[in-house]
Amino acid sequence: MSKRVFNFSAGPAGLPYDVLKEAQEEFLDYNNIGASIVEISHRSKDFMAIIEGAQSKIKSLLNLGENYHVLFLQGVASSQFYMVPMNFVGKDNSVDYIDTGAWTKKAIKEAKLFTNVNVVASSSDKNYNYIPKNISLNSNSKYTYLCSNNTIFGTQYKEFPKVDNYLVGDFSSDVLSMKRDLSDFGIIFAGAQKNLGPAGVAIVIIRNDILKDLNENIPSMLSYKTHIDKSSMFNTPPVFPIYIINKVLDWIEKSGGVEAVEKNNIQKANLIYNQIDNNDIYTGVAEKDDRSNMNITFNLTTPELESKFIEEALKEDLYAIKGHRSVGGIRASVYNAMPIEGCQKLSDFMSRFAKNN
């Protein structure tokens, strides 16, 4: 039996143990081919079954109809920051962006290379510890962009703004973690390395009706149309991450689907938030209404106490709980794959630590 910590890493993050175990077992010989999954053609029937299976499971788990395309693209989520405007808008258009932290700031920077960007709301005034609400949007904007969950600050949209155009959403850190009404989204994307699988691929979901007036004369690899036409097989896709994602999707299905996963995630997060709220030694970073169920951020009374907390936690196999440098303090990332036992153990540790310090 290998050693196994409770891994609170913000990403690349922990994956379901059963998935890893199965991947390990078949790593040298996939499906009795006599070769590893990483050694076979992406056009082989074995891999085609994997990628097509993953595409259809994503649609079914997210309750999306036949009018959506599911792509697996390289270049992680960061590549969507420029691919979205590069494909959909030009200098004559404008777009609305809601700024909720480091990742939307990057998206805004890239979009400005292609079009006119209205930053319609920002929570930068309070170092991004909340989600802006009651935003007035521009009716002539082509789309409205937001980031569903903000890993660094620990905030998460509970409700999305209503729009006249369509929403573009970066769901990198909370995809498939809770039931969502996604019908207003034209584009949904997510890097794999938090809730889905190993780093090296992003899932990009595009609603068919927004494909009417795509920009042409852009590099083939950067055109969504290329990848939709070839069903993500224009180039050699990143086989291994897609293979693991497919197993993670199976694991979600076996766990009871997104609803069951959400229920579990709320229970997990509450174990930790309760400690924050019931002990004066801890102060949550995010405003209560906007708290993330994926990334739980808090401070202790002094930086010295925070270092001590991290050190003692590691001794109990509570791994990678240091906060991001721009916020400091503690961050416990409790994505889908974190077992409830990990949250219980952290919660117990927090209670003990509060009493002793």
Site for a second copy, rule CB under 8 A: 2-5, 7, 9-15, 17, 20-21, 23-24, 27-29, 32-36, 38-42, 74-76, 78-79, 81-82, 86, 106, 109-110, 113, 191, 193, 197-201, 217-222, 234-241, 244, 317, 319-320
Secondary structure in 3-state letters for 309-329? HHHHHHHCCEECCECCCCCCC
Judged by beta carbon, residue 110 or residue 174, the one nearer a second copy is: 110
- Candidate list 57, 99, 103, 290, residue with the active-site label: 103
Judged by beta carbon, residue 151 or residue 275, the one nearer a second copy is: 151
| Minimum distance of a second copy from residue 69's CB (angstroms) | 19
Query: Is 170 part of the annotated catalytic residue set?
Result: yes
Query: Is 112 part of the annotated catalytic residue set?
Result: no
- Candidate list 96, 170, 174, 290, residue with the active-site label: 170
Query: Is 251 part of the annotated catalytic residue set?
Result: no
- Asked whether 318 and 339 are in contact (CB, 8 A), the reply is no
Judged by beta carbon, residue 37 or residue 146, the one nearer a second copy is: 37
Judged by beta carbon, residue 238 or residue 284, the one nearer a second copy is: 238
| Minimum distance of a second copy from residue 102's CB (angstroms) | 13
| Minimum distance of a second copy from residue 143's CB (angstroms) | 18
Structure tokens at 323: 């906060």
The DSSP result for 64-124, as a single string, is --TTEEEEEESSTTHHHHHHHHHHH--TT-EEEEEE-SHHHHHHHHHHTTTSEEEEEEE-G
Give the number of C-alpha atoms closer than 13 A to the C-alpha of residue 218, restricted to the C-beta side.
20
The DSSP result for 241-281, as a single string, is HHHHHHHHHHHHHHTTHHHHHHHHHHHHHHHHHHHHHH-TT
Report, as residue numbers or ranges, the catalytic residues. Answer: 103, 170, 194
